[in-house]
Structure formats: structure tokens, C-alpha cells
Amino acid sequence: MRRTDWQAVLKRAEQHAERWFAGLADRPVYARSDSREVLDRLERPVPEEPTPPERVIDDLVAAVDSGLTAMPSGRFFGWVIGGGLPSAVAADWLTTVWDQNAGSTEGTPAAAAVEQMALAWTLELLDLPRTASGALVTGAQMANTVCLAAARNRVVGALGCDVEAHGLFGAPEVHVVVGEERHQTVDRSLRLLGFGERRLRVVPADEQGRMRADALGELLSGLEPPVIICAQAGNVSTGALDPMAPIADAVDRLRTRSPAGAVWLHVDGAFGLWARASARTRELAAGIERADSWATDAHKWLNTPYDCGIALIAPAHREAHRHAMAIRAAYLPEESDHGIRSPLDWTPELSRRARGFALYAALCELGRRGVEDLVDRCCAMARRFAEQLAREPRVSILNDVVLNQVLVRFGDDAHTRDVVRRVRDDRTCFVSGTVWHGVEAMRISVSNAFTDEADVDASVAAMIRAHSTR
Ligand SMILES: *Cc1c(COP(=O)(O)O)cnc(C)c1O
């Protein structure tokens, strides 16, 4: 391609990008077209002839624009979805432009180095063991999978079986303990790793969705190793974190009567792990550092663009992590270039995106203080929602708003459902509906770095309008 072609197509992309960001404040948060409408617009035979790249981009934008959801908007409160910090979005553009296949230090030295720095900073901000090993993957789903693969191989290995060599054939049964309120992706990770859903041992949760440590202790007292325990930091409905100190105590009691390495405590902290980054919320996550592995996301609360998940594994299990993921024979020595490791031996992929650039940029842009502010602001905005809504007649807040999630009920089930529907029709903000402990509720997740008081107040007003309509 000629140089002038690059300029033309990148310019078009830049113009569309600028228009997108400029329009975010006024654009309805919901998509205006459903996928059927978008597909109807696209449907035609495979083009026979080439199309100039700028035209391709213009046509693509024209076809899809109405089917885009304003997820980076400050008034998007559905699921747990972050926006994109400016430097992270720009670094992500450059990641695409540079097109590094970030598997090996030899092939892409800069990507490997940046990734190593970003992981080290992440450990520091989350106050986890500084020499923990890490991996950047697509999301918390895959981060859970990486951690639990290392866990599986380690706990079975502690009893003399080599999973890398023989799989689970001939291995003792691994008891997998999960909380009643775990995220559904944990089940899929376990399924992929050969643990059937019906064999999971489920610990009941309290009214906020936290694993009950007393019930865990009781269950563990009747189990023999190997055992994997999956705790959670950040329930998607309530934001509550499992009580990690008593959980770690219960796990330690099992460890003392088990062979070394035969018990593993994992934490799914997709967004809640970031509570560690603020002095105001750190206490909620006390004891988390005692776990063997942690999964989290950068694309949720840290506001990097999709996708970026982070798997972190305690220093004691460095070899378990590498052996579970290495593409080279596990008996070969760890390969690194001047102490910088090749990501391909620590992640489940070979060819992979250089996610470290955007993560590094986000952490640079925010700094320690900015990450703390981000966490604090989102929590403050969640409390603002709860305080304003709680003043309305027949509105109740169903959870203790300890983090960035709010569960709201508007009178009865039918009316709550109606309010969620009307708020959607109103298009001021995006919320999800859910069922919490048998009752209908609206879920509000404040995870965007740009959400401010005006966003919250306009959204509350839309909710009250929907609530007052009978
Ligand atoms: C979102 C979430 C996941 C899955 O994360 P992805 O980034 O979507 O893969 C897992 N656990 C919890 C608690 C979550 O909130």
C-alpha cells in the first residue's frame, strides 16, 4: 500500500472516532437499531471487487452506528462496564497499528517489557505479593481459567500426580468449593478444566451475597485434599466482597493437615479487587493477599478498552503457573531475556494482542492517586444514587452500598419491571434488571471513570419519572 492510502484511511477513522466521543453526551445510551436491522443493512453477496479502504470505513460506520450502545458514556450503568481512559484508548489504537504478535520477548521486546512493568504496577496498586507471576488475557473469565488451571495441576501434583503429563486420568478427586453467589463464568472455567458443575461443593451466602466463612469452615473440616476454594471479591449485584480473613483462616486450618500445595485458595475479583487500591475500601478486601491466585479485569473498573483481564498467581506457585501454561516442555528452564519473560509461557494463547500498552497507559495516566480517586468517585456516585432514590416513596435499596453497585426495588415485582422498561424507553441512562433473592430489582453499576454528579442526577430523575408513572 502507498503511504497516502494510510493517511486517508486513518484520517477517516480519526474523524469517526472524534464524532463518536463528541456525541457520547447527547447520544441515547441504548442502541437505536437491533441486530436484525443492522444485519438487514449489511446483507448482500460477498463483494466481487475490492473497495477503497476509506469507503469501507465510511460504509461500516454508516451501517453500524445506530446499533452501537454508548457503553463508554458516563450514564451507562448496565452489568459492570467501564469506559476508556483517553491514553488507554489511544494506546490501544497504536497497539493495532503496531500489530505486534506479543507472544515472545524475542519477537516483540517492547510489548513484553511494557507488560512486565504494567503487571508489576498492578501488584503494587493492589498490594499483592510483588513477585507474583501474572498474565494478561481477554478478561476475568480467562484469568479465572488460567489461575484455576495452575491450581488444579498444583493440588493434584502435591499428591504425586502429574496433570501436565497424564491429565486427570488416575488422579485423586479434586474437591472444588465455590460460593453460592459466584459469577457464572467460574462454572465455565471449571467446566473447561474438567470439573463438572454437579460436583462443585457450594457454600451458602449471607444476605449480601458473601460466602459464609463459618459454613466454609464446616465444609472444609469434612474434606480431604486436594481441594480448591474459589472466593469472590465483588458480587455483581451487591458489590459485596467475601470475608477474606476468616475464609483464609478456614483454608489455613485445612492446609495444616494437608500435604504442602494440596489446597489452593483462588479469588475472582473481576472488579472488586480494585477495592484494594483505595484507603476507603481497602478494609473490605483485607486478607485477600493470603490467597494463592487472583483474577481481575482492567477493562471493567480500571477503564481500559476491551479487552484486558489479569491473572495473578502467588510467588510460591510460579512454577505451577508456568508449567500449566508453558508451550515449551515444562522441564525446560524458564526462558527470559534479561529477566523479561516471554508471555507465551504464562498465558493460554500463542498469538496474542499486546494488551500491556493500554494497561500501562491507563496506570500512567491515573497514577496511584488517580486509581484511588477512580474507585472513590464510583463508590461515591453509587451512594449518591442510593441516597437520592431512598428518599422516594415505595423505593427501597436492597443492598448495603459498600462499593459501586446498587440494587433498587420500586414497590413490587411488576412495577419494578415496568420501571426498568420505562427507564430504558426514556434512554437517559442504561440499567439492567435482575432478580435478587427472589425479588425483581434494578441493578446500577457505577464503573465509568467519567460518571459525575450530573449524570447521576439526570439518571435519578429519569428513574423517578418512570416510578411515578402508573
Ligand atoms: C465480569 C465478571 C467476570 C467475567 O469477567 P470478563 O471480563 O467478562 O471475562 C467474572 N467474575 C466477576 C465477579 C465479574 O464481575
Mean pLDDT, the chain, as a whole number?
A: 95
Task: Convert the pLDDT of each residue in 125-171 to its tens digit.
Answer: 999 999 999 999 999 999 999 999 999 999 999 999 999 999 999 99
Q: What is the DSSP string of 148-207?
A: HHHHHHHHHHTTT--HHHHTTTTPPPPEEEEETT--HHHHHHHHHTT--GGGPEEEPB-T
Q: Which ranges of the chain have pLDDT less than 70?
A: 1-4, 329-333, 470
Specify the pLDDT at position 338. Answer: 80
Phi, psi of 221 (to 5 degrees): -65, -20
Which of 71, 144, 185, 232 for a ligand 1 pocket mutation test, highest count of atoms within 8 Å of Cβ? 185
Type of residue at 415: H
Q: 271: Cβ below 6 Å to ligand 1?
A: yes
Which of 137, 268, 308, 405 for a ligand 1 pocket mutation test, highest count of atoms within 8 Å of Cβ? 268
Q: 141: Cβ below 6 Å to ligand 1?
A: yes
d(C-alpha 75, C-alpha 385), whole Å: 12
d(C-alpha 464, C-alpha 112), whole Å: 50
Coil, strand or helix at 221: helix
Q: Quick one: DSSP state of residue 81?
A: -
Q: 309: Cβ below 6 Å to ligand 1?
A: yes
- Taking the CA atoms of 195, 201, 202 and 203 in sequence, report the sign of the dihedral they define: negative
Task: Convert the pLDDT of each residue in 394-439 to its tens digit.
Answer: 999 999 999 999 999 999 999 999 999 999 999 999 999 999 999 9
CA distances from 291 to 117, 243, 344, 382, 433 (A): 22, 12, 24, 28, 33
pTM above 0.85, yes or no: yes
Which of 267, 273, 274, 300 for a ligand 1 pocket mutation test, highest count of atoms within 8 Å of Cβ? 300
Cα of 309 from ligand 1 centre, angstroms:
9
User: 250: buried, middle or exposed (CB in 10 Å: 19+, 13-18, 0-12)?
Assistant: buried
Question: Do 176 and 201 form a contact (C-beta atoms < 8 A)?
Answer: yes
Cα of 140 from ligand 1 centre, angstroms:
5
Specify the pLDDT at position 177. Answer: 98
Which position has the grid cell 503457573?
321
> 229 has which bridge partners?
177, 265
Question: Do 29 and 458 form a contact (C-beta atoms < 8 A)?
Answer: no
d(C-alpha 463, C-alpha 470), whole Å: 13
d(C-alpha 103, C-alpha 346), whole Å: 10
d(C-alpha 464, C-alpha 423), whole Å: 9
Domains along the sequence of the chain with CATH = 92-361 (3.40.640.10)
Q: What is the DSSP string of 87-108?
A: HHHHHHHHHHHHT--TT-TTT-
Pick from 337, 141, 289: nearest CA to 345: 337
- C-alpha cell of residue 399: 443492598
Cα of 45 from ligand 1 centre, angstroms:
37
Specify the pLDDT at position 327. Answer: 83
Q: Which residues of 366-399 are buried (b: 16+ CB within 10 A; e: fewer)?
A: beeebbbbbbebbbbbbbbbbebbeeeeebebbb
Specify the pLDDT at position 4. Answer: 61
